[in-house]
Structure 1
């Protein structure tokens, strides 16, 4: 089996995992964050869990990318990817309220997926994909970049609103207000959906599409679970809000 055939097999595996993830998460809410509960084995500090789980998307991605025959356009794509994952792996965890715990099984599954996904996307843009300088004039690149940047800004803004809800020493949850929170319960997830849809368009690749599909399979059910949780916990929760896609879902 050639490496390209192996790569193709992994991409197909990501699609398969996405197809299995949707029904699984409709019946089982991943046990971390506000949905944390006992019965999932050993746990670790949530801040460290995020760093461990997301680190392959920074470090392994870089290693795989620079092992390829990369050029200018792939470098631009690299900047997009790393702008998200450096934030997600090493900055975002430091803003999480200390004291939380996440099951090691969840961390392990996330770590393995990110190893595969980082390899699949880094190897495609750095070696197997063909991104000549002419790609800089292709509208698909800039439509994708525009969507990614928009999603990134939405995601960061939503995270900032959540982080500001509690004053130092406060515990518990509050209803987030302002911006897209007036329309949906999870604008942070909506932002990520836009980011990786933009990535799929900018790379115009099956590898990028597989990640966009998996992101939707993972985040949409969790957003629905968050939305349901908010409505159960807060009787005054705005009835007009949707879960993750404004005016739709």
Structure 2
């Protein structure tokens, strides 16, 4: 497969622009995307259980780059393989570990379908860029951008996984009520799980030093950053004893 540079550039620009629109809608429409705690049950609406929904919507993001890698006829540079491993590693965890363990709410079918489409497209373009467009020499493995990006990625992933563990264990099986999360970065921000994922993808973007990766990191910030803000407001409104010192997303700042 030949590198489609024009298509990759167009996708990256479209993703960044979509991020701006996504952020605008979420900031000004609190329940713009009703899933999780903001879910609205509508008569006749089809919903999927949380475990099934998360599995089928995250799986394409893992499979798309893996299939591209399997179909590549020529060897890829080690750096490209490591970067692809970082990307796939996140979605392996989300698909095969997070999904079976989640105790979240049901998800509307239309949101699951939209997530499947996005994960398929993003998985394809991220994988296509790394395998067919990017040019990495072995020296990239010792470049400060790669090393620092890898460290940031791993730290963000650790925060994301640990924060999900805290949230999951707030409930007993079958329980759907919300409680105040405590421990880890939740002592500083209401959206510790979101912060971890945002940090993760900006680390990936730094390590790959590519436009598609930066546009994805920016889109992630725009899509789940406002979610953290709304969660923060939700906690403040619901719990009188919620720690007022906590911020929404950025410790000590916002």
Please state which band the TM-score falls in when normalised by the shorter chain. Answer: over 0.9
Query: Which ranges in structure 1 are unaligned for 5 or more consecutive residues?
Result: none
Give 3-state SS (helix, strand or coil) of 2:172's partner: coil
Shift, 1:66, TM fit: 3.7
* Counterpart residue number, 2:237: 232
Q: CA RMSD in A?
A: 1.6
- Determine if contact 1:10/1:116 at 8 Å carries over to the other structure: no
Do the aligned partners of residues 46 and 131 (structure 1) sit closer, same or farther apart at CA in structure 2, a change above 3 Å counting?
same
* Counterpart residue number, 1:59: 63
Give 3-state SS (helix, strand or coil) of 2:107's partner: strand
Query: Which ranges in structure 2 are unaligned for 5 or more consecutive residues?
Result: none
Deviation string 1:86-115 (CA, Å, 9 cap, x unpaired) is 1111211111227x3111111111111111
CA distance in 2 between partners of 1:171 and 1:37 (Å): 14
Give 3-state SS (helix, strand or coil) of 2:94's partner: helix
Does residue 86 in structure 1 map to residue 92 in structure 2? yes
Does residue 49 in structure 1 map to residue 44 in structure 2? no
- Determine if contact 1:155/1:192 at 8 Å carries over to the other structure: yes
Alignment of 1:123-162 (within 5 A): 123-162=128-167
Candidates 36, 41, 54, aligned match of 1:38: 41
- Determine if contact 2:140/2:146 at 8 Å carries over to the other structure: yes
Give 3-state SS (helix, strand or coil) of 1:211's partner: helix
Aligned length: 247
Alignment of 1:165-180 (within 5 A): 165-168=170-173, 170-180=175-185
Alignment of 1:159-198 (within 5 A): 159-168=164-173, 170-198=175-203
Shift, 1:71, TM fit: 2.1
Shift, 1:61, TM fit: 1.7
**TM-score between both structures, scaled by the size of structure 2:** 0.92
* Counterpart residue number, 2:10: 9
Deviation string 1:197-229 (CA, Å, 9 cap, x unpaired) is 001100000011000000000011100111111
**TM-score between both structures, scaled by the size of structure 1:** 0.94
Shift, 1:4, TM fit: 2.1
Shift, 1:171, TM fit: 4.0
CA distance in 2 between partners of 1:65 and 1:130 (Å): 16
Do the aligned partners of residues 166 and 28 (structure 1) sit closer, same or farther apart at CA in structure 2, a change above 3 Å counting?
closer
